[in-house]
Chain A
Amino acid sequence: MNRAGQRLLDFAPLLLFAAVLAFFGTQSEKFLEPRNLVNIVVQASSTSIVAVGMTFVLLTAGVDLSVGAIMFVAAAIAGKMAIAGWPLPLALLVMVGVSLVFGAFNAFSITRVRVAAFIFTLATLFIGRGLGLRITETRALNLPDSFLQIGSARFLSVPLPAWLFAGVLILAHLVLTRTPFGRQIFAVGHDVEMAKKAGIRTGRILAAVDLISGVCAAVAAMVTLGQLGAVSPKFGEQKEFAAIAAAVLGGTSLLGGRGNVLPGTLLGALLIQTIENGLVIINANPYLYPMVTSVVIFAAVLLESLRNRVK
């Protein structure tokens, strides 16, 4: 494929985004109102944060299917603690702790037991889902107002979750592009054996991305809790697919070694959220949603395959 085709592929997510905005904009006047656009960003924040963690894992040619379940368990435990009257900061800290335990579980199995990440994190998904349902007894937990308060709290007139969102994105971008650790992630994704021959501690890198993915899931769960104030049995469900789709739409390769958080993953997550939001605004038939999701995933896979053909 020629250079022009390659440029077009680079801009494909942006073009898709523009097309989606234009489509829903013509369908509904409310859609392009600033309030709704802000809404999209706020709604996209938790998916974006999970997708950032997923980007790290995908860059090493791995995958983490357990992120949604980690969100659920972390939220369930923190919810129980909050209801029992524990202080909020402690509950948030425990969420991070829980995610690290799950991340370490994934990391250990993948690097030491050497099972396939795809299957193993699927197992972790069910462990997490099961645990979460046990903890919540399959009932929705309504959390104390303190959670909603941090969700709507503002610092310099910007909502706290938005700061968290921006912070995670910028930090991830700097780590990936500017630190030795970040560059080693790319090298491991390109070729693990070659990375070993260059003296890179590949086991550590693979373990680290699983931990990062877990922590991102915990942070995303915090943001979601701040927005919903409740833990339903479906909390975080299918987040892993939204996260993978967002990362891949944004140009991260499933084969590892290629991708970026800014602008790629952010754009992918915004694109997905925009479509979801637009469907609600134009009162689309709810049965249509899964079809649209499938189109999004198809678009992501198509872009990925075209990119691989070019490079």
Chain B
Amino acid sequence: MENISFTLHRGEVLGLSGLMGAGRSKLARILFGLDTREHGEVRLAGEALHRLSPRHLIERGVAFLTENRRSEGLCLAAAVADNLALVTLPQHGRTPVRWLLRDWWQAAVTRIRSVVQLDSKTSDTQPVRTMSGGNQQKVVLGKWLLTNPKVLILDEPTRSIDVGAKFEIYRLIHELADQGAGVLVISSEMEELMGLCDRILVMRSGKLVDDLPRKQFDRERILAAALGTKKEVGS
């Protein structure tokens, strides 16, 4: 991958389009510190980040929903409540007294359940593996929403989940953007990106090849850029 430069603005939903293997997931993983980069700079609110590691980024309000929710996003054997509270645990109860009064935990879990509209038939104590794909994805998203992210990176957030859950996730993305967060969405479904995003970037074999604002959204142009059948626009 080389020569990639882009800005994600506050309150913006930015789509990342391209074919499989174009480097979209790789880019997201680098941004979250899961994969290493040779050089290049990442800035958050104008401040250059020297160390990219999940923990540092989470502390700064970055969240990343990976494309493999079952293997990377969830403790499948653990309870729903445990999965929801996982990332926010260290922020809670730094004092021993608060530790033992578990109300904060239960309150957070109950609140986020209603935010992500988790199926009310599911209980907090049931293992996540017993849930449907859509509900599992809502748990992963809920886990990250609890951190009040300023930047949310979503890799294929609606893959293999039911239509109802898809729309819930679109709604949550818009809500978050309305609250001022920047959202980067990777998706292989072009209609999804065109419906969801304010701007779409297109990647092809490790390079950024196009950048379209909403007004210029055009299936043909995005496809051409992704396939490389048309002259490249922008950088």
A-side contacts of B55, CB under 8 Å? 196, 199-201
Q: B75 touches which one: A174, A180, A191, A199 (CB < 8 A)?
A: A191
A311 & B77 in contact (Cβ 8 Å cutoff): yes
B99 & A180 in contact (Cβ 8 Å cutoff): yes
CB distance from B68 to the nearest CB of A (A): 10
CB-defined interface of B77-111 with A at 8 Å, one 1/0 digit per residue? 11000100111011011000001101000000000
B54 & A198 in contact (Cβ 8 Å cutoff): yes
CB distance from A170 to the nearest CB of B (A): 11
CB-defined interface of A168-201 with B at 8 Å, one 1/0 digit per residue? 0000001000111001101100110111111111
Any A CB within 8 A of the CB of B112: no
A194 & B99 in contact (Cβ 8 Å cutoff): no
B-side contacts of A184, CB under 8 Å? 89-90
B58 & A179 in contact (Cβ 8 Å cutoff): no
Is chain A's binding surface mostly helix, strand, loop or mixed? helix
B77 & A180 in contact (Cβ 8 Å cutoff): no
B66 & A178 in contact (Cβ 8 Å cutoff): no
Given contacts A178-B99, A178-B102, A311-B77, contact A199 B87 (CB under 8 A): yes
A257 & B77 in contact (Cβ 8 Å cutoff): yes
Among A180, A193, A196, the one with the most B-chain Cβ atoms within 10 Å of its Cβ is: A180
A197 & B34 in contact (Cβ 8 Å cutoff): yes
Any B CB within 8 A of the CB of A30: no
Q: A194 touches which one: B73, B85, B100, B127 (CB < 8 A)?
A: B73
Restricting to A128-182, which residues have a CB under 8 Å from any CB of B? 174, 178-180
B54 & A199 in contact (Cβ 8 Å cutoff): yes
Chain B interface size, as a band, is 20 to 34
Any A CB within 8 A of the CB of B72: yes
Restricting to B45-64, which residues have a CB under 8 Å from any CB of A? 54-55, 57-59, 64
B-side contacts of A258, CB under 8 Å? 77
Given contacts A178-B102, A180-B92, A180-B99, contact A194 B54 (CB under 8 A): no
Chain A interface size, as a band, is 20 to 34
Any A CB within 8 A of the CB of B222: no
Q: A174 touches which one: B34, B86, B90, B100 (CB < 8 A)?
A: B100
CB distance from A269 to the nearest CB of B (A): 25
B-side contacts of A311, CB under 8 Å? 77, 127
CA distance A26 to B71 in the complex (A): 52
A186 & B99 in contact (Cβ 8 Å cutoff): no
Restricting to A252-311, which residues have a CB under 8 Å from any CB of B? 257-258, 311
A-side contacts of B59, CB under 8 Å? 199
A-side contacts of B102, CB under 8 Å? 178
Any A CB within 8 A of the CB of B116: no
Q: B93 touches which one: A180, A193, A198, A200 (CB < 8 A)?
A: A180
Can you sample 29 A-B contacts with CB below 8 Å? Answer: A179-B100, A180-B93, A180-B99, A183-B86, A187-B75, A187-B82, A190-B76, A194-B73, A194-B75, A195-B86, A196-B54, A196-B55, A197-B34, A197-B54, A197-B64, A197-B66, A198-B54, A198-B86, A198-B143, A199-B54, A199-B55, A199-B87, A200-B55, A200-B89, A257-B77, A257-B78, A258-B77, A311-B77, A311-B127
Question: What 9 A-B pairs come out closest when comparing CB atoms?
Answer: A180-B89, A199-B58, A190-B75, A199-B55, A179-B99, A198-B87, A198-B86, A199-B54, A197-B54
